[in-house]
Amino acid sequence: MQRSTDHVRIQEEDFSMEAEVNAIRVTSQRIGGIATFLGCARDFSDNGVVSAIHFEQYASMAETAMQDLRKQALQKFDIIEVRIIHRVTTVVAGEQIVLIVVAAEHRASAFDACRWVIDTLKQYVPIWKKEVCSDIPKLCFDATPTPLH
Amino acid sequence: MQRSTDHVRIQEEDFSMEAEVNAIRVTSQRIGGIATFLGCARDFSDNGVVSAIHFEQYASMAETAMQDLRKQALQKFDIIEVRIIHRVTTVVAGEQIVLIVVAAEHRASAFDACRWVIDTLKQYVPIWKKEVCSDIPKLCFDATPTPLH
Amino acid sequence: MSIQVLFFGVIAEQQKTKALTIHGEDGMTVAKVMAKLGISPSKALLIAVNEQQQHDIEFPVHDGDEVAIMPPFSGG
Amino acid sequence: MSIQVLFFGVIAEQQKTKALTIHGEDGMTVAKVMAKLGISPSKALLIAVNEQQQHDIEFPVHDGDEVAIMPPFSGG
């Protein structure tokens, strides 16, 4: 069971950026800078107009991968804390998808780590998006269709 | 008179990160990523333990410099919106000082612009901090004392 | 022995299922599991065995293992 | 002519005031304004004339101008 005190969460519900940032901010007065990245659902992609995005996960593996991502970030960068939240549900354009929060004594490390976490999450965590395109009658995939056979 | 709808503000009052981010988020469904930087008051510096930080500004020039900073960022980077808020008051350790919010279609531009804005703000906007150090009986300055005479 | 195979994203749609069980010899490779399912090896496919990503399709699987065949991740 | 001079941060503390008015010839340079105040030019000092930062202390000032003498900025 994931709780709002957990630094790594995959959840259906929306999240409050302020609550997530404050949860980290109050943990240490050594924090000089907090860099965040908030990913939102855009209303377009290479496939055309996007009316919604559905996210699917390989639940057990995704949870482990995100925990590992946090641990790697804490080892790799001179930072104090990292929080990673990813929604797995259907979101409409404008809605929040993913939030990375990195607190550090100095801003350079906070920025470096925040960017590394979101870049690496995309490569490393088994979550997939499927875009629902309103100008195409069928569902369309974000990723290049994978050749089978 | 500055209002919460203004993208550039220097103010005494604290701010709500979520309110500031949402004010930008609702303006465009083209936004795919929002990078933020939140600067907080640390409880230490090179001068020792810091119990509070007082900020002072050259008000008219600071306001113009921050507006100019926003315009430069919008020209220089492929981004949708920038918001810059700096408090000018006395803050205690743990409190919020400055917030940069950058919204873009793609995360790389959002990160680049956010980092550029906070780095440039420190060089470009006439605001000064004075640290109140609790282990030293007198006020101490963050900046190297400027030689006069 | 039996192996649980999981499909995700476009692979699940193409396989028309999210999971199935296959039977074979203990120690058979991931490549052989894929061959049994009629899936050609491809750099565009990601494989995990027991939730650990495996880049070598000659990786052997054993009774009770869980093999996931996945399209490129696209979260975030 | 008269020039309004503003001091900030540690400069204001050293000058024991935040603002004063000085008088002189029209077109006098920022360097001369500083000399009148007993402030030596220094790379650690920033200068603004009418809210525009000026890097050349030979910049001329005119009646009614506002000259700011500032320590390095330290906001953020």
* pLDDT class of B145 with cuts at 50, 70, 90: very low
Residue B109 and residue B81 in contact, taking contact as beta carbons nearer than 8 Å: no
* pLDDT class of C58 with cuts at 50, 70, 90: very high
- The H helix count followed by the E strand count for chain D is 2, 5
Judged against a pLDDT cut of 70, whether residue B149 lies above it is answered with no
Domain ranges of chain A: 2-140
Amino acid letter, residue B27: T
Residue D15 has a pLDDT of 93
- Residue A138 forms contact with C (CB below 8 Å): no
Average pLDDT for residues A104-122, to the nearest whole number? 98
* pLDDT class of A135 with cuts at 50, 70, 90: low
Global pTM reads 0.91
Evaluate whether the domain defined by B2-140 bears CATH number 3.90.1170.40: yes
Residue ranges making up the domain that contains C7? 2-70
Does residue D75 lie in a domain region?
no
Touching B: A residues 82-121, CB under 8 Å? 93-94, 105, 107, 110-111, 114-115, 118
Does residue D76 lie in a domain region?
no
User: How many CB atoms are closer than 10 A to CB C42?
Assistant: 14
- SS3 state of residue A31: coil
β-sheet with C46-49: strand ranges across: C19-23, C2-7, C66-70, C46-49, C52-54
- SS3 state of residue B14: coil
Query: How far is CA B119 from each of CA A107, A111, B79, rounded to the nearest angstrom?
Result: 9, 12, 17
Residue B148 has a pLDDT of 42
Residue A70 has a pLDDT of 98
Q: Is B35–A40 a contact, with Cβ atoms under 8 angstroms apart?
A: no
- Residue C55 forms contact with A (CB below 8 Å): no
**Tens digits of residue pLDDT in B41-64:** 998 888 889 889 999 999 999 999
Nearest CA in chain B to D40: B149
Does residue C75 lie in a domain region?
no
B147 min Cα distance to partner chain A (Å): 28
Residue B139 has a pLDDT of 52
Judged against a pLDDT cut of 70, whether residue B32 lies above it is answered with yes
If one counts the domains in chain D, the total is 1
Average pLDDT for residues A124-138, to the nearest whole number? 80
Does residue D65 lie in a domain region?
yes
* pLDDT class of A145 with cuts at 50, 70, 90: very low
Burial of residue C21, with CB atoms counted within 10 A of its CB: 0-12 exposed, 13-18 middle, 19 or more buried: exposed
Domain CATH code at residue C30: 3.10.20.30
Strands C46-49 and C19-23: unpaired
Judged against a pLDDT cut of 60, whether residue B144 lies above it is answered with no
Spell out which residues of chain D touch residue B98, defining contact as CB-CB under 8 Å.
75-76
Residue B136 DSSP code: S
Number of CB pairs < 8 Å for A and C?
A: 86
Does residue D57 lie in a domain region?
yes
Q: Is B30–A16 a contact, with Cβ atoms under 8 angstroms apart?
A: no
Number of CB pairs < 8 Å for A and B?
A: 93
Residue A146 has a pLDDT of 43
Average pLDDT for residues C32-48, to the nearest whole number? 93
Can chain C be said to touch chain D, i.e. do they have 3 or more Cβ pairs within 8 angstroms? no
Closest by CA to A21, choosing from D71, B8, B16, is: B16
Spell out which residues of chain A touch residue C75, defining contact as CB-CB under 8 Å.
55, 57, 62, 86, 98, 121-122, 125-129
Residue B70 and residue B126 in contact, taking contact as beta carbons nearer than 8 Å: no
Spell out which residues of chain B touch residue D46, defining contact as CB-CB under 8 Å.
126
Average pLDDT for residues D57-72, to the nearest whole number? 97
Residue B45 DSSP code: E
